[in-house]
């Protein structure tokens, strides 16, 4: 993970700490509060999503004979809790898992899932998960590497349910995968949308890009969908995503204007009104690049 210091508003700094609990505070430091219980929310027909537990939102779709899951939470305990919640909805077994990207708060809960599953991910996501095996602080579960990969787009039927998997460009990471259910008009966005954060969260160290995020969001909005399940936070509408895209494009254009004027990164942040993170956040593990950091680096690298 990226370890360069950055400035952010206090709210964003706190949200980052929660989103990135997979890369928690050093030993001896007080950790974040216990996660809320996993709760199941019905969407359309046989499609559900869950909030709570450690890590990401999780989706699950009940098919003819089994269940496929979108993202797997962050810890084995929360993965187990999610499986128990699914079992209260249907006795059918989980057979497939689609991973939207390689972050630990979306994949590490796989450790609680049955072995022998079909695990689907974008090609670069698989590479990032495999590379993480050499990182003891952020390793994906060794026995749960993707068994099927997707490049740009693939339409398939999983247990009687039509699914379209889409990757436009490196965005949040190099290996994002958006899950579209055309019959139900539902999209699972992964961390292309983290609803609590006002601007995109992009992993430079995983080759994410702001322009790729914009392209991806435009691609999502072009889909014939009504409901959008984010990687974190509450269910989103089309209007929510349109505003998020407009805000990101406006912020990027303003940063570009300031860079053209020769402003330093600190001067850009000052002009945008970004405050340093709260003092309580210091010493609590790695810090992560803000949208401003990412765009400034993209515009000034040679």
Per-residue pLDDT, 228: 98
Lowest-confidence region among 28-37, 124-133, 232-241? 28-37
Higher local confidence (pLDDT), 275 or 103? 103
Phi, psi of 181 (to 5 degrees): -105, 95
Q: Is the pLDDT of residue 278 over 90?
A: no
Could you tell me if residue 30 is inside a domain?
yes
How far apart are the C-alpha atoms of 146 and 292, rounded to whole Å? 33
Higher local confidence (pLDDT), 124 or 274? 124
What average pLDDT is seen over the chain?
Answer: 87
Per-residue pLDDT, 295: 96
How far apart are the C-alpha atoms of 89 and 54, rounded to whole Å? 21
Q: Is the pLDDT of residue 10 over 60?
A: no
**What residue numbers bound the domain in which 29 lies?**
10-300
Which CATH number do you get for residue 162? 3.60.15.10
The side-by-side arrangement of strands in the sheet containing 47-51 is 39-42, 47-51, 58-62, 67-70, 94-98, 118-122, 148-150
Could you tell me if residue 120 is inside a domain?
yes
Could you tell me if residue 181 is inside a domain?
yes
* Contacting residues for 17 by C-beta, under 8 A, at least 6 apart: 32, 281, 284
Could you tell me if residue 35 is inside a domain?
yes
Per-residue pLDDT, 26: 38
What pLDDT, in 10s, does the model give residues 133-148? Answer: 887 666 788 889 999 9
Per-residue pLDDT, 139: 74
How far apart are the C-alpha atoms of 140 and 75, rounded to whole Å? 11
Could you tell me if residue 223 is inside a domain?
yes
Higher local confidence (pLDDT), 135 or 259? 259
Could you tell me if residue 2 is inside a domain?
no
State how many domains the chain has: 1
Could you tell me if residue 113 is inside a domain?
yes
Could you tell me if residue 178 is inside a domain?
yes
Per-residue pLDDT, 103: 93
Centroid of chain to Cα 226: 20
Lowest-confidence region among 4-8, 181-185, 246-250? 4-8
Q: Is the pLDDT of residue 195 over 80?
A: yes
Q: What percent of the chain has pLDDT over 90?
A: 75
């Amino acid at each position: 993970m990226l370890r360069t210091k950055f400035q952010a508003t206090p709210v964003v700094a706190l949200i980052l700490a929660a989103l990135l609990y997979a890369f928690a505070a050093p030993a001896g430091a007080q950790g974040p509060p216990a996660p809320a219980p996993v709760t199941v929310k019905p969407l359309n027909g046989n499609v559900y999503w869950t909030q709570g537990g450690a890590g990401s939102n999780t989706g699950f779709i009940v098919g003819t004979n089994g269940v496929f899951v979108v993202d797997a939470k962050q810890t084995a305990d929360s993965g187990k809790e999610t499986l128990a919640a699914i079992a209260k909805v249907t006795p059918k077994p989980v057979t497939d898992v689609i991973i939207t990207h390689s972050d630990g708060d979306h994949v590490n809960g796989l450790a609680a899932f049955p072995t022998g599953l079909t695990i689907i991910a974008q090609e670069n996501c698989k590479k990032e998960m495999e590379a993480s095996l050499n990182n003891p602080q952020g390793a994906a579960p060794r026995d749960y590497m993707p068994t099927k990969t997707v490049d740009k787009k693939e339409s398939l039927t999983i247990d009687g349910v039509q699914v379209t998997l889409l990757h436009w460009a490196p965005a949040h990471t190099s290996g994002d995968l958006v899950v579209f259910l055309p019959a139900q008009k539902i999209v699972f966005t992964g961390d292309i949308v983290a609803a609590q954060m006002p601007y995109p969260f992009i992993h430079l160290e995983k080759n994410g890009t702001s322009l790729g995020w914009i392209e991806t969001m435009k691609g999502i909005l072009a889909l014939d969908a009504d409901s959008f399940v984010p990687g974190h936070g509450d269910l989103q509408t089309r209007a929510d995503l349109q505003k998020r895209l407009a805000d990101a494009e406006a912020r990027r254009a303003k940063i570009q204007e300031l860079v053209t004027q020769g402003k330093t990164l600190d001067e850009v942040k000052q002009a945008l009104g970004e405050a340093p993170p709260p003092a309580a956040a210091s010493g609590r593990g790695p810090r992560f690049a803000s949208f401003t950091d990412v765009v400034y680096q993209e515009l000034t690298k040679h």
